[in-house]
Structure 1
């Protein structure tokens, strides 16, 4: 029996990297275990891969933007170089299957897969698909989608699938009281989790810094990940000044414990965040990152609000510090929090999705026959 090999094409933000690592972990637990290699642009400098348990190979990549026409020739050269590198890698690694997780970092490898007639599968995390997946979906064996609305923007076969979460991420991974104590918070009082993801933390930090007042939160505690050491210092001091109980950190490796501790979340609307929000049944106030490609975070937030019923959406340009804090206070004072929690649970229990890893495993098994 020939060894099965899976090449995972990925790069960019945590929204792409984390589900790719989630799939890699899931594939490593099936029998027979396939060999796994990650490939993509700028992986050696990617902060989300610093402790990855899987080998990776970096290639050249580039993004073509009509807003920056003078950069197009050099980026085309980078893409072509990445295609050549990926072609050689495919010849050497001989993958049974390539799995692409979107972003321009994966484009050269997926083009090389098409060139070498190596079958590939795509995973689209967002409600509005990215350009790479829109372009290549008609050539894929299938595209796994996390939002039903993505199907109309893609060509070829689509399966509604789960978001591969990081290892250990699951509802009930730790009791909320224990998770709160892990962060040095009171185990009995509610916690608001605050973070902005890998791109959009700055404005969220500013909103909290500008709007926090002594009597706004009462018994509510904050678990705030700023993404920036300067903001961590200033916000820690700010919260202390107003007697607000808070755990403030630059970044948190054990985000599954943060989700377990949280009663409510204020965050961006990346697909990974929303998938984890649903898994841990944490209602939220979503602030779509306004500079996301194709404005996909706003579409993601609309799905959470209108279809799932597990959150509220506010556009950054319309959100003031006062409005943000008023929304948080109203959630905890009325029955809105419990209502949204129930909506999240109902959605999670009723939504039947295909297991993305199982579909990959079936495809590998078919190639063996």
Structure 2
């Protein structure tokens, strides 16, 4: 297949696209691929580093309030469609896949006008604006959570595939990477991180827990995020906690997940895909700053079946965090039950399920 993939703005749109490309290559189904993003977006760095052919269109999102910027947005969208049509005609794809973000709107819509098969992938439990718009025009709508189906009126187009990122991590085995951080791979481990940039409210709560963490029968790997690392290290500079390792960031994060017994962090779609593929219990602190508070809805899907616990950010402090972590880590029956429930939600063949839909559209 010749495939154009477009998605950008956040890692949640980019990493599923990359996972899909990797699985297409692994199955020898990819004759050629082109990734379409924006020059300013995160995708321009991530995709280029992987040596995936990359083209750009200029586009931006609508402002929620009346603004002249919305006039510019419409202008850029129209111009983006013309450029996207040119890209498509030159590349001649068999199918175009959109994984979300404003940039995918122009390339997927342009493909529709040129009668190229199209499919979009929605990672979250609440549909993004771009995907809800594109749902009117595409051939298939792949979803990661059944709960998001109600937001699309095109019921006949919906197919539950899960998130391709799940399949990318599902096959990773324990590899003793914890030794890199001065931790013992044989000791149960809690991983705490708030994403690549970190989450300051989570970091503050963890700082207050470190002494008590060091007294537990489990160990803690705490990734502060690069921009918060210095202030965290300053806050704990006169202490030396056993069983606790504090780092700014963890490269190749998925590789360490099989060695982890509990994850504490945000509830983005990619994180959920990864931990359910491996069956890891979680404590979620959803970011309240994302569109439509979708991380809370994501987290609730797991809390309803006791695969995770949730602490809302206004309720987060050292006491509330310590209580829930100890509850899970000091009760093996509860921990194992949560792990089993998490595993049941996982879709470790998600990329293949999405590829099946692509193959069906290109017959």
Please say whether Structure 1 and Structure 2 have the same fold, judged by a TM-score greater than 0.5. yes
Q: Which residue of 1 aligns with 2:190?
A: 192
The alignment of Structure 1 onto Structure 2 pairs a total of residues equal to: 359
Gaps of 5+ in 2: none
Task: Give the direction of change, closer, same or farther, for the CA distance of 1:345–1:111 in structure 2 (3 Å limit).
Answer: closer
User: Secondary structure of 2:136's match?
Assistant: helix
Aligned counterparts of 1:79 and 1:255: Cα–Cα separation in 2: 35
Aligned 8 A contact 1:283 1:337 in 2: yes
CA-atom RMSD in angstroms? 2.7
Aligned counterparts of 1:352 and 1:111: Cα–Cα separation in 2: 25
Q: Which residue of 2 aligns with 1:37?
A: 34
Task: Give the direction of change, closer, same or farther, for the CA distance of 1:54–1:123 in structure 2 (3 Å limit).
Answer: same
Aligned counterparts of 2:88 and 2:359: Cα–Cα separation in 1: 20
Aligned counterparts of 2:223 and 2:303: Cα–Cα separation in 1: 24
Aligned 8 A contact 1:214 1:243 in 2: no
> 1:318 offset after TM fit, Å?
1.9
Aligned 8 A contact 1:216 1:325 in 2: no
Task: Give the direction of change, closer, same or farther, for the CA distance of 1:87–1:284 in structure 2 (3 Å limit).
Answer: same
User: Secondary structure of 2:170's match?
Assistant: coil
Aligned counterparts of 1:28 and 1:183: Cα–Cα separation in 2: 33
User: Secondary structure of 1:143's match?
Assistant: strand
> 1:200 offset after TM fit, Å?
5.8
Aligned 8 A contact 1:27 1:34 in 2: no
Residues 188-218 of structure 1 show CA distances to partners (whole Å, capped at 9, x for unaligned) of: 2111111222566232222212443346652
Aligned 8 A contact 2:278 2:346 in 1: no
User: Secondary structure of 1:228's match?
Assistant: coil
Residues 10-45 of structure 1 show CA distances to partners (whole Å, capped at 9, x for unaligned) of: 111111111000001111233453311110223665
Task: Give the direction of change, closer, same or farther, for the CA distance of 1:239–1:311 in structure 2 (3 Å limit).
Answer: farther
Is residue 2:322 matched to residue 1:321?
Answer: no
Q: Which residue of 1 aligns with 2:278?
A: 280
Q: Which residue of 2 aligns with 1:104?
A: 102
Q: What TM-score results when the alignment is normalised by the length of structure 1? A: 0.88
Is residue 2:133 matched to residue 1:163?
Answer: no
| Structure 2 residue corresponding to 1:20, chosen from 14, 17, 21 | 17
Aligned counterparts of 2:231 and 2:258: Cα–Cα separation in 1: 25
Task: Give the direction of change, closer, same or farther, for the CA distance of 1:236–1:24 in structure 2 (3 Å limit).
Answer: farther
Task: Give the direction of change, closer, same or farther, for the CA distance of 1:200–1:303 in structure 2 (3 Å limit).
Answer: farther
Matches within 5 A, 1:262-341: 262-307=260-305, 309-334=306-331, 335-341=333-339
Q: Which residue of 1 aligns with 2:128?
A: 130
Aligned counterparts of 1:232 and 1:261: Cα–Cα separation in 2: 27
Residues 70-105 of structure 1 show CA distances to partners (whole Å, capped at 9, x for unaligned) of: 422222233233222212111211111110001112
Aligned counterparts of 1:86 and 1:221: Cα–Cα separation in 2: 50
User: Secondary structure of 1:203's match?
Assistant: helix
Q: Which residue of 2 aligns with 1:257?
A: 255
| Structure 2 residue corresponding to 1:69, chosen from 58, 67, 70 | 67
Gaps of 5+ in 1: none
Aligned 8 A contact 1:209 1:235 in 2: no
Of 62-71 and 237-246, more deviation after overlay is shown by 237-246
Q: What TM-score results when the alignment is normalised by the length of structure 2? A: 0.89
